[in-house]
Amino acid sequence: MPVRIDGPCGSDILVVTRHFALRWGGAEHSLAAVVDELRTVHPSWTWSVSDGGFDPPDRLRALPLVQLLLRRSGLRRVAACFQGQLALVQSLIGPSMINGLPESVVAVYFARDVRYWDEWSNHEVGVRRTLKDLYRMVQVPLLAFFRREVRGALRRANLVVANSHFMADRIHAFCGREAVVVYPRTPIATLPLPEEAGAVGMIGDGADKGGHVLRALAVRFPEVTFRLHARQAARTPLPSNVVFAGWEADPARLYRGLRLVVVPSQVAEAYGRVALEALGHGVPVLVSRTGGLPETVPDLSWTVADYENSEAWCAAFAEAWPVAPSRREAAYTFAVAKRHLVDDQHEHLVRKILALTS
């Protein structure tokens, strides 16, 4: 739920992203950090966050603003209720909310991924692939509406913020709008974790995350132990050398005992917070050369160009596994340098947002 801080304020501002209300994922944690920094500068302000997307959790489906998705006049009436204060709005309809705002309300749009408006690939197999294709056909009218709303919101927003240069480029190609690039804040350990013989870690097991790559690697390298962290149990049987470890929120515990982390995403990840988080604990990574993932590693030698090909991953892994211990220092040094850059980006963003209210 959004936090309200009572007190005088001089402007109306709507801060919009996806899933922020529940602080899901790295992008939303990143926005939370920006909002916290703004509260530090102006503790009397009331901040609001809205969520864009069409898949709300059950406990939020009854929110009145969700029901206003296709009622633009209703959106304008809701927006008008926040005249004279720094807006406090929680919804699941961020783009439509921005499009329905009066001109007097300043909108800051954190565009954090390309799902629905720029990309919706299907990496499932078998029956699941067919079902997803059917689902997409049913969703075509809604997705077309959503794309129009996103394009309008990106043009209407007073400030657009992207979480990678990849995202900024996609936004510009989509609607010609320039975006400020602000990388997500990522946990960095005070010291890198101690070197251990270790296992190979992977976060997530879905088709989009590259679950088939994990299984191919485990079969090809039976002498290596792989550790899978995911919120749900594996959908298909795992090779005997893959340990399902469940979800772990503590980064220090998550990366302890790992020699290498693989991020074989099959979709265009907007940034790839997991990769930088691993580096920030001294654990080298191997990532797909797609989306914003290459921006999270020191150079392209840490990436796999033919990332949809399991054989290419096996070849890259065969080279990375023996030298992983020698890359730990470079991994940690890169992450620390990136954190300093992120600090500067966040300070710059706070100044830009404050300038909108002056």
Please give the residue range of the domain that contains residue 61: 12-182
**Domain-located, residue 295:** yes
DSSP state of 207: T
Instruction: Report the pLDDT averaged over residues 72-77.
Output: 52
Angstrom distance (rounded) from CA 258 to CA 189: 15
Statement to judge: residues 159 and 285 lie in one domain: no
Q: Could you tell me if 210 and 265 are in contact, meaning their C-beta atoms sit under 8 angstroms apart?
A: yes
**Number of domains the chain is built from:** 2
83-118 pLDDT per residue, tens: 433 333 333 467 776 777 667 677 888 887 776 666
pLDDT value at 149 more than 80: yes
Give all strands (DSSP E) within 112-225, no chain letters.
Answer: 159-162, 180-181, 199-203
Q: Look up the CATH number of the domain holding residue 16.
A: 3.40.50
**Domain-located, residue 344:** no
Residue with tokens 């749900």, as numbered in its chain: 232
Statement to judge: residues 219 and 104 lie in one domain: no
Statement to judge: residues 168 and 274 lie in one domain: no
**Domain-located, residue 97:** yes
For 68-77, 102-111, 308-317, 333-342, which range has the lowest pLDDT when averaged over its residues?
A: 68-77
pLDDT value at 129 more than 60: yes
Torsion angle, alpha carbons of 78, 163, 290, 214, to 10: -90
User: What integer pLDDT is reported at residue 189 of this predicted model?
Assistant: 95
Output phi, psi for 194, to 5 deg. Answer: -65, 145
More confident residue, 197 or 237: 237
For 8-12, 58-62, 271-275, 328-332, which range has the lowest pLDDT when averaged over its residues?
A: 8-12
User: What integer pLDDT is reported at residue 14 of this predicted model?
Assistant: 65
DSSP state of 17: E
More confident residue, 163 or 114: 163
Q: Which of 292, 311, 302 lies closest to 213 in space, CA to CA?
A: 311
pLDDT value at 223 more than 70: yes
Angstrom distance (rounded) from CA 156 to CA 307: 36
Phi-psi region of 111 (alpha: psi -120 to 50; beta: other; left: phi over 0): beta
Statement to judge: residues 225 and 257 lie in one domain: yes
The SS3 call for residue 46 is: coil
User: What integer pLDDT is reported at residue 2 of this predicted model?
Assistant: 29
Relative to beta strand 180-181, strand 159-162 is parallel
237-280 pLDDT per residue, tens: 899 999 999 888 899 999 999 999 999 999 888 898 899 999 99
Structure tokens at 202: 């992977």
Statement to judge: residues 142 and 214 lie in one domain: no
Statement to judge: residues 206 and 153 lie in one domain: no
More confident residue, 281 or 115: 281
Q: What confidence category does residue 196 fall into, taking pLDDT thresholds of 50, 70 and 90?
A: confident
| Burial degree of 174 (CB within 10 A; 0-12, 13-18, 19+) | middle
Angstrom distance (rounded) from CA 1 to CA 166: 30
- Bridge partners, 52 (sequence order): 93
**Domain-located, residue 244:** yes
User: What integer pLDDT is reported at residue 19 of this predicted model?
Assistant: 45
Phi-psi region of 303 (alpha: psi -120 to 50; beta: other; left: phi over 0): beta
Statement to judge: residues 120 and 268 lie in one domain: no
**Domain-located, residue 3:** no
- Bridge partners, 161 (sequence order): 110, 180
**Domain-located, residue 314:** yes
Statement to judge: residues 178 and 239 lie in one domain: no
pTM flag (> 0.85): no
pLDDT value at 75 more than 60: no
Angstrom distance (rounded) from CA 353 to CA 350: 5
Statement to judge: residues 41 and 156 lie in one domain: yes
Statement to judge: residues 120 and 203 lie in one domain: no
Statement to judge: residues 109 and 49 lie in one domain: yes
Statement to judge: residues 285 and 315 lie in one domain: yes
User: What integer pLDDT is reported at residue 85 of this predicted model?
Assistant: 38
